[in-house]
Amino acid sequence: MNEQRHKVSQSTIDSLFPDKSDPKYKFFIFEEEIQDLTHRQKIPHTDKKQSLVHFHNWLETNNDEDLDQALLWLTNNQNEIPEIFLNELKESAIHRLKNPKKKYLKSQIEAAKADTLLTVARLVYFCKVDQISAFEKGAWYYDQKYSHLKSFIATTIEKEYRKWLKNIDGKEVIKSFKKYQPDGWNKEEQKAYLSRFGEAANALKGTRD
């Protein structure tokens, strides 16, 4: 049985953060709720770290894309959603409704692409899938999950993935993969993850030279 986690008292929180609209208060509560989730569930280190990073960015910039990214990391393993996060999702929804549809669509596309690149990385590093197959599975995944958006074909995913590996997000993800699960997943975990994917249609594969 897990030992009960020591929590900061409400009186201490109130004294530290008298203004409950303060972003520092919101981040503190989110971090506390994430720690509670980690205590109750097995949350991968990368999911936890990235959700904290993107939630913090959202509080700093009010950029809806950051909240989208945090949500994707939070729900990777069907984790619970902290209450403070749900409140911020409501704020984000209001924010989106006040902004042009074109800007919101761009935010959706960027979040969908980020989710797909992370999926490809898992296929390559955890399931030992060759990159070409991973790109094609990624195209199938995007088409199934984001059918309302324009297709993200495998050859385009390949270009975006190679760029992603060179930027800070990609580097941090791969670094975390190698540090915390250097041997990938076992056969059963690989089989369970791969069972989620279907065969990409030729139109989703693109044309190679």
Question: Model confidence over 48-88: pLDDT tens digits?
Answer: 888 888 899 888 877 778 888 888 888 776 667 888 899 99
Using one digit for the tens of pLDDT, what is the confidence trace for 139-184?
A: 999 999 888 888 899 999 999 999 999 998 888 888 888 887 778 7
Of the CA atoms within 13 Å of residue 86, those in its CB half-sphere come to 5
Count CB atoms within 10 A of the CB of residue 71: 21
201-206: list long-range contacts, CB under 8 Å, 24+ apart: 201/140, 203/151, 203/153, 204/136, 204/139, 204/140, 204/143, 204/151, 204/153, 204/154, 205/136, 205/139, 205/153, 205/154, 205/155, 206/139, 206/153, 206/154, 206/155, 206/156
Confidence label for 36 from pLDDT (cuts 50, 70 and 90): confident
* pLDDT at residue 182 in the model: 79
Enter the pTM of the model. Answer: 0.56
Mean pLDDT of the chain: 85
In angstroms, what is the C-alpha Rg of the chain?
19
Count other C-beta atoms under 10 Å from residue 111's C-beta.
20
Rounded alpha-carbon distances, angstroms, from residue 207 to 109, 115, 203: 22, 23, 9
Statement: residue 17 has pLDDT above 90: no
Strand locations in the chain (E) = none
Q: How far apart are CA 38 and CA 145, in angstroms?
A: 27
pLDDT per residue over 83-121, tens digit each?
889 999 888 887 777 765 666 677 788 888 999 999 999
